[in-house]
Structure 1
Amino acid sequence: MNPRRVILSAELYQELARVNGMPVKEEAQLQKALKHSLYGIALLGEEEEAIGMGRVVGDGRYTFMIADLIMHPEYANAEHTLAVLNDLMAYIEASGADGAEITLMSDVPSIPLYQKQGFAYTYPNKISLSRTL
């Protein structure tokens, strides 16, 4: 398989969210959210099938969050995840200022993969909190 990178679209986002059991987003709101992303990428297979996606949100200089790094269950593997992550990191490294902080939220099984890429637990120096509307 020779995956191809494309700009993340609402259609690709919805498709990958749906196959992962995530709630479908309201289209106008999703379009606005993606428009306000700093960067977004999707990985497509040879038959144009969605393999994975990810996006970067933040202030573009000092604060970056890798968001929505989602893989299609049929194609979920370290190689594809790293292809998306490395693309997002290349954007951040080209844009970020010295001392910029990059955060991400991970499912538990993926933690070792991210740790191998230099990500570390924020605890005990910091702790992440979350709230959903």
Structure 2
Amino acid sequence: MTAVADPYELVPTAPDVDAYVRLRRDSGLSPKTPEQAGYAVANSWAFVHVRHRPTGEAVAMGRLLGDGGWYFHVADMATLPDHQRQGLGRRVLEWLLAQIDERAPANPYVTLVADPPGRPLYRSLGFVESAPQGVGMVLGTRPTS
């Protein structure tokens, strides 16, 4: 019996800007402009994407923001709907966490914002909810003076 080749390849770089924009939009994350995507692609501490070998298409991604010393934030965890439930999010997140283990000093502080669909994955890899000690917040509309 011959082994079936893995149809997915983990690529330890950012996808191109167009793929980044498409992955965010098509996986249900908030859309970003090509200009915003260019900064994300160029300025992440670590970035990985998954390519579907038969088509060459980027189908999943994730990245780390951080100072390289102690603070890291997991961002842009995204998998296209047709490729979900294949373990790609786990592969991406395990690769990102391995980068911290290999390249950063001991005792890093690693955060992420967990949308409901991703919570089981994040919990399975050791993430815990920070509330009530802390809650995530975003900057809304600034009051005018």
The alignment's TM-score, normalised by the length of structure 1, stands at 0.88
Give unmatched runs, 5+ long, in structure 2. 1-5
8 Å contact kept, 1:78–1:113: no
What is the percentage of aligned positions where both structures have the same residue?
A: 27
**Structure 1 runs of 4+ off > 3 angstroms?**
21-24
8 Å contact kept, 1:51–1:76: no
Question: What secondary structure is seen at the aligned counterpart in 2 of 1:17?
Answer: helix
The alignment's TM-score, normalised by the length of structure 2, stands at 0.82
Displacement of 1:131: 2.1
**How many corresponding residue pairs?**
133
Displacement of 1:49: 2.0
Matches within 5 A, 1:82-121: 82-121=90-129
* Alpha-carbon distance between aligned partners in 2 of 1:80 and 1:4, rounded to the nearest angstrom: 10
Displacement of 1:19: 1.5
1:131 pairs, out of 131, 139, 143, with: 139
Matches within 5 A, 1:1-133: 1-6=6-11, 7-8=13-14, 9-46=16-53, 47-77=55-85, 79-132=87-140
Displacement of 1:21: 4.4
Question: What secondary structure is seen at the aligned counterpart in 2 of 1:74?
Answer: helix
Alpha-carbon RMSD = 1.8
8 Å contact kept, 2:113–2:136: no
- Quick check: which has more Rg, 1 or 2? 2
Give unmatched runs, 5+ long, in structure 1. none
